[in-house]
Structure 1
Amino acid sequence: MAEDLSPAPPRPATPRARDLLTRRLADIVCLPSSQIAPQERWMVADVLDELLRAADVGLRAKVSKRLAQQGEAPRALLRRLAHDEFEVAEPLLRRSQALSDFDMMDIAQGSSALHRLELARRESVSETVAAALAAGGDMDVITALLRNDGARLASQTVEVMVRVAAEHDAIARLLIRRPELRPAQALALFWSVSHDLRRMILDRFAASRQILQDAAEDVFPLAAREAEPDTAVQEALAYIDRRQRDRRAAEVTPYGSLEGLIERASQIGFTEELRAEAAVLANIQRDLLNRMIDDFGGEPLAILAKATGLSRQHLSGLIEGSGRTDAFNRVQQAILVFDTMSVDKAQTVLRYWNWVIARSARGD
């Protein structure tokens, strides 16, 4: 038999050869743009990508660590490594500046909780990436975003977090401190959180309306003389006005005043008739009054009492009339708020709540 002189098939590259070639290609990919053309970088990146598909985790992690420091690294290669096992992806997720918002949003939607958590801890997190991270509802990720001063939160993202915070005081505590939280959002959250968090909300968001009152001082008589009242102006002035009670209602009420009604309620409880009349006298929506009376704490009634000029005694009557068995605790919580809040700030809170309910009733 004739001897087979055909060349032997090439042996597969040893791990050492693959490691060396991978390092060399990574060096080329990481060259600055002044030393390599874009077409050359993409070509080398394609070969490197194929090598990494068959490489072990340790080698992939080494390349990922190199690429994390490069601002001009090939995007396709970066995205694949950023979706890789967390050990491989971690350096890119933490500090790569070459990952775009689109890349990070894709990672947030399709990778593990550890990937999302690392993105939330980046030095800078854009509004769009933060929105994608928060959408998953993961408590650890939301906590990391709220603790990250470099994360920017869009209003819609804050709305998502408000819903989560309503059931988790730890999230609420962080959210209340964020600069993106708006008064309407904070005062909506108020109803769902504990007593100490309620005081935090009031301390920060119960602002004075003095600047509005000064600006609108000469608008009140002008609006009153208009033949066809402007609804939007009337609503705005109602929010700004220093007066809370409905004076015309007080002239015809069978109870003589809001105080007289509360004295009656403390004796027989807040019947449906008394609730309806109290809402009219206090000049607030009936649904808001019901919510304040039925609330687990005394703070809302303290705000109502302060905003309408009631005394401490009548605040106690409000709580007694609510018929709650934990009236003593409600009184203590209420007095704490009543004694530390000004009339103007109490009116600000009350009118925010009333405004939201009125708009909701109209379907705005």
Structure 2
Amino acid sequence: MAEDLSAAPPRPAPPKARDLLTRRLADIVCLPSSQIAPQERWMVADVLDELLRSADLELRVKVAKRLAQQHDAPRGLLRRLAHDQIEVAEPILRQSQALSDFDMMDIAQSGATPHKLEIARREQVSETVAAALCTSSDIEVMSVLLRNTGVRFANSTMDVIVRVAAEHDTIARLLIPRPELRPAQALALFWSVSHELRRTILDRFAASRKILQDAAEDVFPLAARETAPDAAVREALAYIDRRQRDRKAAEVTPFGSLEGLVERAAQIGFTEELRAEAAVLANVQRDLLNRMIDDFGGEPLAILAKATGLSREHLTAMIEGSGRMDAFNRVEQAVRVFDTMSVDKAQTVLRYWNWVIARAARAG
């Protein structure tokens, strides 16, 4: 009886020579170091590299997945596959331990966004690679980096992210909890974020100065007796000092006190004269006082009031004098900060802001 050939399963086509050779060479390249000399691995990698240039996508993906697991994978071959289509590059960018920081920095600077995102998702990302990824200020890449607890950021990179966060709420929300964020950076970001994020910044970064005050307690009288005051010491002690108001200015002000000035501002508004006198009495830079009065929220004025010992009623009077009593719930937001912040912490924030503006003025 004749065999029914129609019922027999089709025989698989023999592998193409390219596919077979590529797989064999990949096997050799992936051998452990104990079984192949470095020179042999490099030689085989060169041949494999040439074959992969014109190989189909499926074969390139298979080779990339194998090489991603190899600690001794040839660097040149890895770099080329890391620059390939994202389907090929993904396992190498995400997993390969043989890929150097230099290689990843090159991809971060010249690669497409999908390639950058895979690097940002790696289990560990160094400061140098994170810096390269942040250079383009790509919001999506920064978001992935900030969510990744295995990423380490240099201080200069945090400065870049702070500038982006000032314009993008999503980045600000991810940035504020990061352990690398310094108080100076957070308090600079304060001015650009929402009421909610402002409170978060104050809760985390408005620190007490008690440790500084205890350390400098006997320095104050010593510095006062010096005939040639040290400018740096004087500036540092001004930051540490428990007193905020200028007492000498209070003795000669035509308004009697800072309270009296605030009461007058509530009646006629913060004129240029009142702003100038208030800055002197509160012992802050004029530019800082203007910024607090003109700010969209009431939190800066709450910090000023708390730091200078004003009452809640005088805080409300300051907001009224600013001419923006109802804008953005200024009173509600201000009172919330005023009631929850200590005098010491409010002074820390105010002194920092004042110090930054004073330093910028000297530099200019």
Measure the CA separation in 2 of the matches of 1:95 and 1:227.
64
Give the AA of the match of 1:67.
L
Q: Which residue of 1 aligns with 2:119?
A: 119
The aligned length equals: 351
Q: Which residue of 1 aligns with 2:273?
A: 273
Q: Which residue of 1 aligns with 2:201?
A: 201
Q: Which residue of 2 aligns with 1:70?
A: 70
CA contact (8 A) 1:41 1:74 kept: yes
SS in 2 for 1:179: coil
Q: Output aligned runs, 1:276-315, within 5 Å.
A: 276-315=276-315
Measure the CA separation in 2 of the matches of 1:279 and 1:53.
69
TM-score, with length taken from structure 1? 0.95
In structure 1, runs of 5+ residues without a counterpart are: 1-13
Q: Output aligned runs, 1:99-138, within 5 Å.
A: 99-138=99-138
- 1:326 CA displacement: 2.2
Measure the CA separation in 1 of the matches of 2:327 and 2:47.
74
Measure the CA separation in 2 of the matches of 1:328 and 1:98.
53
Give the AA of the match of 2:313.
Q
Measure the CA separation in 2 of the matches of 1:102 and 1:150.
18
Measure the CA separation in 2 of the matches of 1:329 and 1:316.
12
Alpha-carbon displacement from aligned partner over 1:60-114 (angstroms, at most 9, x marks no partner): 1100000000011000000000000000000001100000000000011111110
CA contact (8 A) 1:134 1:161 kept: yes
Measure the CA separation in 1 of the matches of 2:76 and 2:39.
14
Measure the CA separation in 1 of the matches of 2:196 and 2:286.
27
SS in 1 for 2:150: coil
Q: Which residue of 1 aligns with 2:164?
A: 164
Measure the CA separation in 1 of the matches of 2:174 and 2:356.
24
Measure the CA separation in 1 of the matches of 2:302 and 2:88.
56
CA contact (8 A) 2:296 2:327 kept: no
The answer to whether the aligner puts 1:94 opposite 2:94 as a matched pair is yes
Q: Which residue of 2 aligns with 1:338?
A: 338
Q: Which residue of 2 aligns with 1:144?
A: 144
**CA-atom RMSD in angstroms:** 1.1
- 1:325 CA displacement: 5.1
CA contact (8 A) 1:320 1:327 kept: no
Alpha-carbon displacement from aligned partner over 1:260-287 (angstroms, at most 9, x marks no partner): 0000000000000100000000000000
Measure the CA separation in 2 of the matches of 1:183 and 1:15.
63
In structure 2, runs of 5+ residues without a counterpart are: 1-13
Give the AA of the match of 1:296.
F
Alpha-carbon displacement from aligned partner over 1:110-164 (angstroms, at most 9, x marks no partner): 1111000110010000001001111111111000000000000111111111111
Measure the CA separation in 1 of the matches of 2:32 and 2:233.
60
TM-score, with length taken from structure 2? 0.95
SS in 2 for 1:88: helix
Q: Which residue of 2 aligns with 1:35?
A: 35
Give the AA of the match of 2:110.
G
Measure the CA separation in 2 of the matches of 1:90 and 1:25.
21
Q: Which residue of 2 aligns with 1:6?
A: none
Q: Which residue of 1 aligns with 2:223?
A: 223
Measure the CA separation in 1 of the matches of 2:93 and 2:43.
24
- 1:328 CA displacement: 7.8
Alpha-carbon displacement from aligned partner over 1:268-323 (angstroms, at most 9, x marks no partner): 00000100000000000000000000000000000000000000010011000001
SS in 2 for 1:34: helix
Q: Which residue of 2 aligns with 1:355?
A: 355
- 1:37 CA displacement: 1.0
The answer to whether the aligner puts 1:46 opposite 2:38 as a matched pair is no
Once structures 1 and 2 are overlaid, which stretch shifts more, 284-293 or 162-171? 162-171
Alpha-carbon displacement from aligned partner over 1:180-239 (angstroms, at most 9, x marks no partner): 101110000000000000000000000000000000000101111111100000000000
Give the AA of the match of 2:143.
T
- Distance change in 2, residues 1:199/1:280 (3 Å): same
- 1:15 CA displacement: 6.0
The answer to whether the aligner puts 1:191 opposite 2:191 as a matched pair is yes
Measure the CA separation in 2 of the matches of 1:234 and 1:133.
41
CA contact (8 A) 2:86 2:115 kept: yes
Measure the CA separation in 2 of the matches of 1:331 and 1:171.
27
